[in-house]
Amino acid sequence: MVSLLRANRAELGLNRWDYNLEDHQGLFDRETLVLPDVLLPAELSEEQALRPVFDLMWQSAGIERSLNYNDAGNWVPGRR
């Protein structure tokens, strides 16, 4: 389970110009963000198992999914 306190004072660390974000994207609209529990399957790598958690966090900041994963669902750190 993931919770962010003072989320309204944080934003995703993205270069707004590289991703062509709208003003609200990358920002959280509430002080306390509590994401639902996600069961992490033991047979997956850590990166694959955590994707639903990261997707939920990014969606909470107005972005469709975590951009740190490619279209095949593989973790690609520092992806542009």
Report the pLDDT averaged over residues 34-63.
93
pTM: 0.85
Q: Where are the beta strands (DSSP E) in 1-80?
A: 3-5, 32-34
- The tokens for 40 are 């992490």
Q: pLDDT class for 54, splitting at 50, 70, 90?
A: very high
Tokens 């944080």 belong to residue:
10
Distance CA 11, CA 74 (A): 23
In percent, how much of the chain has pLDDT > 90?
Answer: 69
CB 66 within 8 A of CB 78: no
